[in-house]
Amino acid sequence: MDAPPPSRSPGPASPSGAPVVHLDGVRKSYEEGGRTHVVLDGVEVRIHEGEFVVLLGPSGSGKSTLLNLVAGIDLPDAGSIRIAGNELARLDERARTLFRRAHLGFVFQFFNLLPTLTVEENLLLPIELKGRVDAAARERAKRLLDRVGLADRAGAFPDRLSGGEQQRIALCRALVHEPDLILADEPTGNLDPDTGATILDLLEELVRADGRTLLAVTHSRTLAERADRVLRIEGGRVVEAPAGVHPR
């Protein structure tokens, strides 16, 4: 049975302390056909603990580029990116990989569950990559499965689950290791509207219940309407939409 829609709760009233996400003067370009194509140019972004922030923009505007930079998958040409107090440009590739394992959770439209692992094994994988899976970790995974209504599917393999069930597991996997920041890239883009609405309810419920910080990249106005803040990429810059305005 699908979980009921969560009651809405506001984001942080007055963010304090260092932001979880801090982009300062970030520039990123690519070489295409012998020409330099500037995707991001002087981006400034601050996201504080517990905020639910949506990033909008047309295809090709740089949304995925910005997400890859925040994740440390790519590095900027110029500027500073600090995530949970870590300056990503100062980390080598291995250190950035370890940083992602420890501090980030990911939810993507293609669920990226490993087909040879059960639901429980997929869920525990982020913890196993960080170190030893102990009883507390197993209990945390079980509680998350209970919260999304899939406690009875712990021993199932992904190919036995519906798309909506697989995305519920992906939500749990993003949260199970208690990350500082959750990154979501079109989390309902591969689902039908009704299933997508259920996933959005669960995403919001889970991140707000645990006070997690979420940056979601999307084309979805429905997801934007749930956010504390909406950012847009325009001409290589990130701008903030006025309060209460959630553009298409």
| Residue ranges covered by each domain of the chain | 51-61+94-240
Q: What are the structure tokens assigned to 167, written together? A: 């995305």
Predicted TM-score of the model (pTM): 0.85
Using CA atoms, how far residue 219 sits from 23, 48, 83, in Å, is 22, 23, 24
Dihedral, CA of residue 66, residue 35, residue 92 and residue 126, to nearest 10:
40
User: What local confidence, expressed as pLDDT, does residue 53 receive?
Assistant: 95
User: What local confidence, expressed as pLDDT, does residue 218 receive?
Assistant: 85
Kind of pairing, strands 104-108 and 181-185? parallel
What pLDDT digit, counting tens, does each position of 200-231 carry?
888 888 888 888 999 999 887 888 888 999 99
Q: Which of 31-45, 64-78, 195-209 bottoms out in mean pLDDT, i.e. has the lowest?
A: 195-209
If you count them, how many residues does the chain have?
A: 248
User: What local confidence, expressed as pLDDT, does residue 242 receive?
Assistant: 67
Contact 123/173 with Cβ under 8 angstroms? yes
Residue 243 has pLDDT above 60, yes or no: no
Arithmetic mean of pLDDT, 114-121: 93
* Superfamily designation of domain 51-61+94-240: P-loop containing nucleotide triphosphate hydrolases (3.40.50.300)
Question: Residue 207 is which amino acid?
Answer: V
Q: What are the structure tokens assigned to 21, written together? A: 């996400």
Arithmetic mean of pLDDT, 173-185: 91
Dihedral, CA of residue 175, residue 178, residue 181 and residue 182, to nearest 10:
0
